[in-house]
Structure 1
């Protein structure tokens, strides 16, 4: 193929226990999917799920056993952490039923939905899209993907985030307003999911700002921890 410039390399995430890499197609994120986080953001109740996206190259892979640099982005004075369970889609499909959703999952990972909160809030106040607050460079840190058969009981896993060794977020996956299968069903009704899609499933309460020099450690029981230092 004759392209006008060399195409960007494929974005990949390592798979736990193998030398294989998971190629990323799209990144979907679910908004306000834990009740306590919805309340801290000024909302309540089981609202219909809504989604936003990040570019695939927003992925920043954590190096297991080390602290990975996380660049502080431009244009913000309020960079917020949001720890999330990430679902990696292995088999695509459209109008996937809740009952069949698990069959489409390749594995799971710990992720961070980093957010330029001040830019997001300003866009919200003006009734404008807030992609600029969510979809910037390095805004989707992620750990290695654990295949489903090695991930354990994800539906009841604990999820937490520490900043400088102090716990900021702590909950369980079973507190999701829309569970994993329901989220896949809703998202696949809106458009066909593809192999390589990542779904960031939402964050529990306790989101807050970080500064250069802060160390973030995210964990979900059964999965590989992630650790980043804001630089």
Structure 2
């Protein structure tokens, strides 16, 4: 019995192995080889792309400075000429101008100065500051006034000289503003008084100064009690 079973098993195995082997699994035909897809060449970065980005910087363009008109040097506005009194009818040939010396500390007390002038050429008046003066009748702005010295601005230079007359010695100071003669001072006395005068002008300076020296050369001192009162 056992042999029969073994025999049957062996027979089954033989039949199984000799029988048609199972059909091989269907296999798909190999797909046609596809051409590799064309690939774009690698993009080479531009040199500009490889540089770090820079933040644009505003370039400052210098703005041209506005053109200014040429500077104007301030000039003094000339004052109007002095008003001179009308010459008196039948006036004497010579008149006197008496006044207080401008250097009282260097003068003998009780004395005044006196100069003599031709009323046809000069007239007694007051200057723009209210001080006694004599003005030239024929040369506007030619004036002889009293002075006691003053400070000078930096653009004014003074040249000194000496004027000798018969009775008086004057220290003469000629003032130049930017090289242009502006006025002349005369400081002197007769040993009793010392006083100073300023001769100013704007035109005909030589004639003005010559006529002024004629007047100043008559300088002398007189007792104040004899001085002619000023108008």
TM-based fold match above 0.5: no
Which of 1 and 2 has higher RCO (CA within 8 Å, sep 6+)?
A: 1
Alignment TM class, shorter chain as reference: under 0.3
What TM-score results when the alignment is normalised by the length of structure 2?
0.24
Determine which structure has the larger strand proportion and give its number: 1
What TM-score results when the alignment is normalised by the length of structure 1?
0.24
